[in-house]
Amino acid sequence: MDNWREFGPDGLSPPLRAALEVFARHGYHGASIRMIAETAGLSVPGLYHHYKSKQAILAAVVDAAMAEMLAHTAAAAEDAGHSPTTRFSNVVECLARFHMARRDHAFVASTEMRSMDADVRAHHVAQRDLQQAMIEQAIRAGVDAGEFTCEHPEDTARAIASLCVSIASWYRPDGPLSADDVVARHLEFALAMVGAPGAR
């Protein structure tokens, strides 16, 4: 990945992009197959040709978003080299940027867990746990290197993940804070939470 900080087109197919739009606007239970088909410019049978059910569409939308987030985060961690603090900062920055660039994706993935069938939810939770593990591993590496003084890496990783996820609910590109401002503030919060030297 050339630049993990950049999020271009999301790569969703027209049916999935239509579903994302409808789910974000109306919620999973307020959405119908007909609404998704019309938004995608398809007939209902045409949509069913691609996906067997509304649940399958939700699963595909969320899986695509999580896969993209995990790929970018892995690239961010690798880009840090051997510095635990840089690795941690890159991972947090990547999460913040993802939740600004993919607000609808993150919103649907977060709010529609309640609508997922058990197997879909289990897959989603496993992906979410992988993401949180990347944060926790970065914190533990910083502690082992003497760069962080965090006593509870697992709990802190969970709190930092929640902090970044929440960005999707309030950030607006035309708001008072630029994307770089949001990143800087959340890095400050996160570094303080892990006990990095000089963090406030």
CATH 3.60.15.10 fits 55-193, yes or no: no
Residue pLDDT, tens place only, 102-150? 999 999 999 999 999 999 999 999 999 999 999 999 999 999 999 999 9
Structure tokens at 168: 């999707």
pLDDT in tens, 166-190: 999 999 999 999 999 999 999 999 9
Q: Where are the domains of the chain?
A: 55-193
> Which residue in 125, 123, 118, 151 sits closest to 60, CA to CA?
123
Which residues make Cβ contacts (< 8 Å) with residue 111, sequence separation at least 6?
Answer: 27
Task: Look up tokens 């030297």; give the residue.
Answer: 197
pLDDT tens per residue across span 16-27:
999 999 999 999
Mean pLDDT to the nearest integer, 76-100: 96
Widest pairwise Cα distance in the chain:
60
CA distances from 62 to 8, 82, 133 (A): 17, 32, 19
pLDDT exceeds 70 at position 200: no
Do 164 and 96 touch, CB atoms closer than 8 A? yes
Q: 198: left (phi > 0), else alpha (psi -120 to 50), else beta?
A: left
